[in-house]
Amino acid sequence: MNYTEGMLKAGALKGKTILITGGGTGLGRSMGKYFLELGASLIITSRKIEVLEKAALDLEQETGGQVFPIACDVREVDQVEKMFAASIEQFGKIDAVVNNAAGNFISPTERLSANAFHTVLDIVLKGSVNMTMTAGKHWIQSQEPGTFLNVVTTYAWTGSGYVVPSAAAKAGVLAMTRSLAVEWAKYKIRSNAIAPGPFPTEGAWSRLLPPDLVKEFDPAKKIPLKRVGEHQELANLAAYLVSDFSAYINGEVITIDGGEWLQGAGEFNHLEKMPQEFWDNLQKMRK
């Protein structure tokens, strides 16, 4: 099976303008590229304009689409509002917002400074709130429909040690997603979320883990499908959720992780490591 093929028909996003925070690198860039291939216009934003401008140039050359790069720190609501206004001026409208910008630390929680904890909360939760409130108020005032797609994580509902700021922030984003799906539906504004498992990006693990642990940390080992995700698989799902094909989906979070969180959630899932002799003896005991 080819996991790197696009899922939707050509032109599925034609006429739509989509804004992605953290859109110049990683999964944000991969989603944006597919949106462009399907006919959308794209706005990518993050703090580093040089990264955005290079990504925009590359994406336009790769897809023939139109990309507007604009710097913005999502933690600062004034910057978000100015960025959104400039994007509206550029394209005339924005149909969907993908809240993708994130930050994370892997660390024992007691070793984190208050500033480190707050940095993750501010980027992930406060940033998503700033973006959502800015776009939502605009759509409501303009009487325009809109779609939010928020990138969360499976530990938004299970919690997870050693990434507590991220877990707390993503849980907040998930709660906002579900809450606004109900409250703003009357304005024809949908809110959904994706909870990805491991979709490796260049240097992702090396940024989070010390060099001696990078080789040992193989996420594929704890995934029932025994592989990590391909970026196109996530892009396919994201494109569907911002398209009109998903018009009746609202308030949902869709997990795309090869079964990882279910395997980790089961109390006895670790018994997969037991040798066959263990099971043979257990069966004899039952007799």
* Residue entry with tokens 């670790």: 270
| Cα–Cα dist 63/231, whole Å | 16
CA distances from 99 to 42, 115, 170, 216, 260 (A): 14, 22, 11, 31, 23
| Cα–Cα dist 31/82, whole Å | 24
| Cα–Cα dist 92/94, whole Å | 7
Report the pLDDT value the prediction gives residue 277, as an integer from 0 to 100. Answer: 81
Residue spans of the chain under pLDDT 50: 267
Report the pLDDT value the prediction gives residue 263, as an integer from 0 to 100. Answer: 85
| Cα–Cα dist 179/182, whole Å | 6
Report the pLDDT value the prediction gives residue 75, as an integer from 0 to 100. Answer: 97
Q: Are 217 and 277 in contact (CB under 8 A)?
A: no
Catalytic residue among 155, 162, 240, 248: 155
Report the pLDDT value the prediction gives residue 161, as an integer from 0 to 100. Answer: 86
Phi/psi at 22 (5° precision): 65, 35
Report the pLDDT value the prediction gives residue 205, as an integer from 0 to 100. Answer: 57
Q: How many CB atoms lie within 10 A of CB 57?
A: 12
Report the pLDDT value the prediction gives residue 266, as an integer from 0 to 100. Answer: 59
Report the pLDDT value the prediction gives residue 154, as an integer from 0 to 100. Answer: 92
Q: Which helix (H) or strand (E) holds 134?
A: helix 127-142
Active-site residue, 34 included: no
